[in-house]
């Protein structure tokens, strides 16, 4: 249904886009610095689940509505930005409790990380723009089954993002483990992760289309 040449070209384009640090990467790095490997990887899974939802929406026509409506695009962008700022503030407030968190296992924490990642993934402007503006260019409309082709490309994008974002998270978590040998340094790392998310939220709110 989709030629190998198109698949390879799409994979190359998707890899370049994903490798450039954006909201998802910075969010995962922030989670890794603040809470460690497990939370970071769970956040990655949530992120890619959100991206997959976006790809399905684009495949069935919702993406074109977002691309054409400045109001809808801006609303989604601001919701994502506000949520990132909220998570950053929470990380700052709880930075001195990270030592206690390392010694406990909370099943609900993993669920929270997943849903937080899902929200960030769904509201990620970079991903939504890529799906709405770039992904359709690789579809061979003459081959038919356009929604299925777009869904396939979206699935491939999410698979690549899962691998690369996980690598970012593991690298950040390893740095955190090496640095976090004292409560003071651990609190500083947690604060850094919080500040990263706040800065990212502010940056997202101030960028993008203005029409």
As a whole number of Å, the end-to-end CA separation of the chain is: 37
What are the two backbone dihedrals, phi and then psi, of residue 3, each rounded to the nearest 5 degrees?
-70, 150
Q: Report yes or no on 210 lying in a domain.
A: no
**For residue 181, is it within any domain?**
yes
Asked whether residue 102 is domain-assigned, the answer is yes
Structure tokens at 13: 């384009």
Given this model, what pLDDT does residue 145 score? 77
Determine, yes or no, domain membership for 183: yes
Q: Report the chain (211 residues): mean pLDDT per 10 consecutive residues.
A: 82 80 76 82 93 85 60 70 75 61 51 87 76 72 78 91 92 74 63 72 65 50
User: Is residue 198, in this structure, part of any structural domain at all?
Assistant: yes
Looking at the domain assignment, is residue 194 inside a domain? yes
Q: Which domain holds residue 113?
A: 4-205
pTM to 2 decimal places: 0.68
Domain count, the chain: 1
- 146 neighbors 79 (Cβ within 8 angstroms): no
Integer Cα distance of 61 and 10 in angstroms: 20
Are the beta carbons of 186 and 180 closer than 8 angstroms? yes
Please name the residues in contact with 152: beta carbons below 8 A apart, sequence gap of 6 or more.
1, 2
Q: What does the pLDDT read at residue 108?
A: 53
């Amino acid at each position: 249904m989709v030629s190998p040449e198109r698949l390879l070209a799409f994979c190359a384009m998707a890899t370049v886009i994903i490798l450039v640090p954006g909201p998802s990467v910075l969010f995962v790095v922030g989670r890794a610095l603040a809470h460690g490997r497990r939370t970071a990887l769970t956040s990655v899974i949530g992120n890619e689940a959100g991206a997959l939802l976006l790809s399905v929406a684009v495949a069935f026509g919702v993406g074109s509505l977002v691309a054409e409506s400045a109001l809808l695009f801006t609303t989604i962008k601001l919701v994502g930005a506000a949520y990132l700022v909220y998570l950053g503030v929470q990380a700052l407030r709880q930075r001195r409790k990270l030592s206690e968190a390392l010694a406990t296992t909370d099943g609900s924490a993993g669920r929270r990380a997943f849903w937080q990642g899902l929200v960030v993934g769904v509201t990620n402007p970079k991903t939504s723009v890529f799906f709405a503006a770039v992904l359709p260019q690789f579809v061979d409309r003459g081959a038919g089954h356009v929604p299925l082709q777009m869904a396939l490309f979206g699935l491939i994008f999410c698979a690549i993002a899962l691998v690369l974002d996980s690598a970012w998270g593991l690298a950040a978590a390893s740095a955190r483990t090496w640095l976090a040998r004292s409560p003071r340094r651990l609190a500083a790392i947690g604060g850094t992760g919080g500040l990263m998310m706040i800065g990212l939220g502010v940056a997202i709110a101030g960028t993008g289309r203005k029409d």
